[in-house]
Amino acid sequence: MPRRAATGGMPDFTGQTIDGERYYLDKLLGSGAYGKVYRAMDLKSPVECRAFYAIKCMPIYVPGTTKAHFQTRELFNHPKVRDHPNIVRYERHFQEEDWVYVVMELVRGGDLFAAITERHVFRNNDSLVKNVYLQIIDAVQYCHKKGIYHRDIKPENILYSEDTRRIKLADFGLSTTHAASAEYGCGSCYYMSPECIAEQKPRLKYSSKQTDVWSMGVILVNMISGRNPWRYATTDDQCFQAYLNDNDFLGNVLPISAEANAIIKRIFTIDPLRRITLEQLEEEIIQVHTFFRSQQQLKPLSKPLQAQRPAESSDSGWQTESEPVPTKPTRVVIETDGVALSSPILRPPATPEKQNNRSTKLEPSVPGPEDKPSTGGTSSAADSSKSSLAVKTPSVHAVIPVAIVRPSGAPDDDVEEALALPGSLLDKVLRSPAGKPKSITIKNGRNILRAAVQRIKDFSAPTSTSTGSGAT
């Protein structure tokens, strides 16, 4: 039996038998902050039809510590919701020496993260998006009715059957029975609600139910677009700040239909008391005709901050091509090494071997606080490798109208071009021949969506302003 590592790390249980030689752990499925999940063969089941389970292996934490507190909650809360068809079934748990083992249903299809980033099963598939998302709502509603609030709803914790038609909510390591919580920063950064992050002081208790609803909104964006809307729901995050400035921001930059965007805005309501409820969300989702923009709507658009929908790429996962640049009005093609407007994107998970060899996470394209590790448990009990969401930044061209400001008497081939973006403006002032587009490269997208704007420099001579017909 493996002993606790001297460094505090988790040993490898692969090839071990536990529970009096009953379960044989033959494959690592995933790992997290609190333990590892293995596929286990029940050696007491009939040889001709062996039973398999997912077994979560966790150290027995010192009583009174935070980890011991969350571990006790998981063992107490998960059994309460075990009987719902859209929740991973809890079977039993037992202890041996320094370890506690949780025996659960084995879900063989994988997790929602892989379905989105690797299999792309939801792309332009309205019926599947609706089917799966309504199942997630059913699972979370059932938990809430039982007085259990998950607080770590994310694609890695949503498993699916081999045909992708049945989903299962997993990992209750951060769950709580407190409807009003004072545990801040609980969950995974991309999916935390603003009130859970609690940027403002003094901190007040937040609704555990409504923070689950917020996480559901991020998952809906994931399923439709394959992207995260932001990294942190704080004013330090440029994408979130852009949403605060204009709540149509996501609908403008992602391939989301108008009716889906209307729902997303109701989910991402800053005031939790005004945020849509799960019951209302279920009704709204049922009424949706399409979650995706039509091909006609995906054609080049004249609105600022709007780019084409990314196309699949074998190496990076996403790639976009710029809209053809017309001669009039003058436009500027901005090339960044981030996805459209620095909006984070889901990254395919790494294998367990790569995870073990990786010392640092990829830096995001949007500057912000360092990525905080989830205080939750393992990623999932699925028969697949796991990874936390990280930012991947393939190349993209966003075509943005600009205003032309020409000093009085200046020659036509010497004009000042200022990038005019409503809500959040670029602080770049370019020079280029009149009527011709100027191409610049902005590393890491760090100058995109800046809250402040550097106004056009004062000219010694009187100036007159003329704006192209496409500028706003």
Residue type, 386: K
CB of 256 closer than 8 Å to CB of 224: yes
| 67 annotated to bind ligand | no
Q: Which one is catalytic: 138, 152, 171, 237? A: 152
Angle at which helix 258-267 crosses helix 278-287, to 10 degrees, equals 180
User: Exposed (0-12), middle (13-18) or buried (19+): which is 11, by Cβ within 10 Å?
Assistant: middle
Alpha helices (H) in 334-376, listed in sequence order: 352-357
Backbone angles phi, psi at 347, to 5 degrees: -110, 135
User: Which of 409-428 are b and which e, b meaning 16 or more Cβ less than 10 Å from the residue's Cβ?
Assistant: eeeeeebbbbbbbebbbbeb
Residue owning tokens 């008391």: 273
Residue owning tokens 């005004």: 274
Alpha helices (H) in 103-207, listed in sequence order: 112-117, 126-145, 194-197
Q: How far apart are CA 439 and CA 442, in angstroms?
A: 10
397 secondary structure, DSSP code? E
Q: Which of 18, 99, 39, 110 is closest to 387 using CA atoms?
A: 110
Angle at which helix 258-267 crosses helix 208-225, to 10 degrees, equals 150
Angle at which helix 126-145 crosses helix 278-287, to 10 degrees, equals 160
To the query of whether residue 383 is one of the catalytic residues in this protein, the response is no
For 135, the 3-state DSSP assignment is: helix
The secondary structure of 200-234 as a DSSP string is SSS---EEHHHHHHHHHHHHHHHHHHSB-S-S-SS
Strand order in the sheet with 90-96: 17-18, 23-31, 36-42, 51-59, 99-105, 90-96
The secondary structure of 235-285 as a DSSP string is TTSHHHHHHHH-TTHHHHHSSB-HHHHHHHHHHT-SSGGGSPPHHHHHHHH
Annotated binding site for ATP: 56
| Active-site residue list | 152
Annotated binding site: 56
